[in-house]
Amino acid sequence: MDLDVIVVGAGHAGTEAAVAASRLGARVGLITAALETIGQMSCNPAIGGIAKGTVAREVDALGGIMGRATDLAMLQFRMLNRSKGPAVWAPRAQCDRGLYRRAVRSLLEAQPTLHTIQGTVARLLIDEEERRALGVETLEGRRFTSRCVVITAGTFLRGRIHIGTDTKLAGGRAGDAPAVHLAQQLEDLGLEVARFKTGTPPRVDGRSVDLTRLERQDSEVDAFDFTWSHFWPTPRRTAAGTRHPAQLPCWITYAGADVKRIIADNIDRSAMYGGAIASRGPRYCPSVEDKIVKFPDVERHQVFLEPEGHDTAELYVNGL
Ligand SMILES: Cc1cc2nc3c(=O)[nH]c(=O)nc-3n(C[C@H](O)[C@H](O)[C@H](O)COP(=O)(O)OP(=O)(O)OC[C@H]3O[C@@H](n4cnc5c(N)ncnc54)[C@H](O)[C@@H]3O)c2cc1C
């Protein structure tokens, strides 16, 4: 198959790259390990937040799909930093993980010149003399040629998962295989290959939580849309014909003295402090053990229990 642009990976970056190229009229092949995980959110199913909310709206203003998918999937919206000046207000939407994936996929499929292709890219096809990419080959040996290749492999290039100090698994993210061959080829080509790290909390079964003892936090959804596309002639609507799905509450609790003691007593079993991870490096979310070590005088740390979707009791424990 001959294409103008090949994009490797269908996370946030790859889907936006593919849509942007397709909107310019290019024939685009978006090749990703599993079509079912197009638009999969790796950690917290949220879009926006401090700084990131502004970026998400800029992506939308440039014609991206993230804002539209967010509005079709959001189950809780809040404007963070409202107590401060409007310049630092930060929109944040908690999304239904499944609805977000489906919204992204249908927005991609609305682009006539964009083809989604299932496959794991094992290597770039290279013109050795001109030192340029001619296309890609998948693990199964399928070849695709193109004028350019965009790699948006996220956390997958030789990804590794640490759970405590004893468990080390090869993985792009929980449940997904890493991209080992491509990482190896990039390194062999003389490109610097490094690994960043981040953390994610264990999820809890909402049926095990006594919600009556928690503080309820409702959505402010009426106040906001992530996308400007409702100004377009054909705005997208949910199946119910609304701009957003039904909203769900989040729940607030605290990691107090008991949690602090348990963590302090077991700190050497943490991947971060038990020696499994050597570098501290950049991270998106500070883990709870990091907060407790770095801020020992803080009596309690806020924890948000956030629904993962309309059709599941699973809760994301934001703050751990
Ligand atoms: C545990 C964890 C916690 C995180 N926490 C946060 C957070 O709190 N906040 C935050 O902003 N970010 C967080 N992230 C980072 C998160 O990965 C990024 O924000 C976001 O997902 C990056 O989007 P992306 O499109 O670059 O890559 P990804 O979403 O990782 O998507 C990469 C895509 O490429 C595909 N792919 C990779 N290699 C190949 C290949 N060789 N062939 C075919 N397909 C391939 C994958 O299947 C996947 O579809 C976290 C990540 C993890 C794993």
Closest CA to 114 of 24, 39, 34: 24
CA of 256 to the centre of ligand 1 (A): 32
Atom of ligand 1 nearest to the CA of 181: 41
The residue whose C-alpha atom lies closest to atom 36 belonging to ligand 1 is 9
The arrangement of secondary structure in 2-45+96-199, i.e. its CATH architecture, is 3-Layer(bba) Sandwich (3.50)
Instruction: For residue 245, report the distance from its CA to the centre of ligand 1, in Å.
Output: 25
pLDDT, position 241? 84
pLDDT at 69: 95
Residue list, ligand 1 pocket, CB within 6 Å: 8-14, 31-33, 37, 42-44, 120-121, 152-156, 172-173, 179, 182, 198, 200, 284-285
The pLDDT, as a whole number, for residue 280 is 57
Measured CA angle at 279 (ends 277, 282), to 5 deg? 115
pLDDT at 16 over 90: yes
Task: Quote the ligand 1 centre to 51 CA distance (angstroms).
Answer: 19
Q: How far is the CA of 287 from the centre of ligand 1 (A)?
A: 19
Please check whether the two domains, 2-45+96-199 and 212-222+243-318, share a CATH topology.
no
Q: Which atom of ligand 1 lies nearest, measured to the CA of 173? A: 53
- pLDDT tens by residue, 154-201: 999 999 999 989 999 999 999 999 999 999 999 999 998 888 888 889
What's residue 214's pLDDT?
97
Would you call 141 helix, strand, or coil by DSSP? coil
Atom of ligand 1 nearest to the CA of 15: 25
Tell me which amino acid residue 115 is.
Answer: H
pLDDT tens digits for 281-294? 665 567 888 888 88
CA distance 81 to 50: 8
Q: Best substitution site from 8, 198, 316, 317 to test ligand 1's pocket, by max atoms within 8 Å of Cβ?
A: 198
The whole-model pTM stands at 0.94
CATH level 2 (architecture), domain 212-222+243-318: Beta Barrel (2.40)
Would you call 315 exposed, middle or buried from its count of C-beta atoms within 10 A (0-12, 13-18, 19+)?
buried
Nearest 5°: CA angle at 197, between 195 and 200?
A: 145
Interval 252-275 mean pLDDT: 92
Which atom of ligand 1 is found nearest the CA of 34?
Answer: 47
The residue ranges of every structural domain in the chain are: 2-45+96-199, 212-222+243-318
What's the rounded Cα separation, in Å, for the pair 90 and 48? 7
List the residue whose alpha carbon is closest to atom 9 of ligand 1: 284
Q: By mean pLDDT, which of 4-18, 86-100, 156-170, 220-234 is the weakest?
A: 220-234
Measured in Å, residue 112 CA sits from the centre of ligand 1 at: 26
Q: What pLDDT score was predicted for residue 282?
A: 60
Compute, in angstroms, the gap from residue 21 CA to the centroid of ligand 1.
20
Q: Is the pLDDT of residue 210 over 90?
A: yes
Which of 284, 287, 288, 318 should be mutated for ligand 1, with most atoms under 8 A from CB?
284
